[in-house]
Amino acid sequence: MPTLHALCRAVSPAMLDCELSFIGREPIDLALANTQHNAYVKALRALNVEVVELPAEAALPDSVFVEDTVLLFDELAVMTRPGAQSRRAEVASIEAAFSAHREIIARIFEPGTLDGGDVLQIGKRVFVGLSQRSNQAAIEQLSACLTPFGYQVIAVPMQDCLHLKSAVTALSDDTVLINPDWVDVDYFKDYQQIYVAKSEPHAANLVRIALTASTSSASDMESILMPANFPETEVLIRAAGFALHTVDVSEFQKAEGAVTCCSVLFYV
Ligand code: CIR
């Protein structure tokens, strides 16, 4: 049976110079960021995820946010072309790490730009946010890569946040957690929807740990990893029956990241 793996990368000492789009700059405690990253990796391991860790990239401030550099499907990997120029050099070392795991490696190319944070896969549907980072050209390229494998790529307009997965992620194959102010909920009308608490607009980003590739609803093979500072939304998710684990990611939130961005999940 394929096992769930996660690729992570240690925090760059340059993270203080990270890109920011929708939030202001606040001091980041680098030592605390390292501690939180270690705890994040430990939490994944405790949930039976096989974690592969890459060393830090000293010159690339946002390189801990590996999710933005690659999309991993069972059949292929798609290397992205991040929307922020400062992040494009992150891709090469990630591609090297994945070449052993996928025979087919596709690439997004100019004029396409795509951040993995804008890509939400639920089964054979692949929702892609039309954001400040990801454009229509990339969506067309992605569609050409994925359609032969039976995936449907759906462009989703969004506003007021960095990535589609800032606004919506999947709790299971049939339920999403969503912020209705940032994305039109009609795009997700085929799913049960849990709205984030009004006072916690950033709470929609969570990692779904599905140890087997095809579990459609909450089960003992699934758990959810979410930031520790969204207690009202946490109550809603628990009430819906999902097993939940929290991690403190305050320093990554100051860099406009959250929990999905610090790993790339894939089955081997
Ligand atoms: C950036 O603006 O690119 C980084 N500071 C944050 C990226 C977070 N990525 C993600 O949520 N997928």
Distance CA 184, CA 12 (A): 35
pLDDT in tens, 56-110: 999 999 999 999 999 999 999 999 999 999 999 999 999 999 888 999 999 999 9
CB atoms within 10 A of CB 93: 16
pTM given for the model:
0.96
pLDDT band, residue 222 (cuts 50/70/90)? confident
Query: Which entry of 163, 202, 245, 262 is annotated as an active-site residue?
Result: 163
DSSP letter for 181, please. T
Query: Which entry of 18, 161, 261, 262 is annotated as an active-site residue?
Result: 261
pLDDT band, residue 220 (cuts 50/70/90)? low
CB of 84 within 6 A of ligand 1: the answer is: yes
Distance CA 117, CA 64 (A): 13
Distance CA 18, CA 234 (A): 28
CB of 226 within 6 A of ligand 1: the answer is: no
**Alpha carbon distances (Å) from 134 to 29, 47, 137, 152, 165:** 29, 31, 9, 17, 12
173 CA from centroid of ligand 1 (Å): 25
Distance CA 197, CA 231 (A): 9
Q: Which residues contact 74 (CB under 8 A, 6 or more apart)?
A: 2, 213, 267
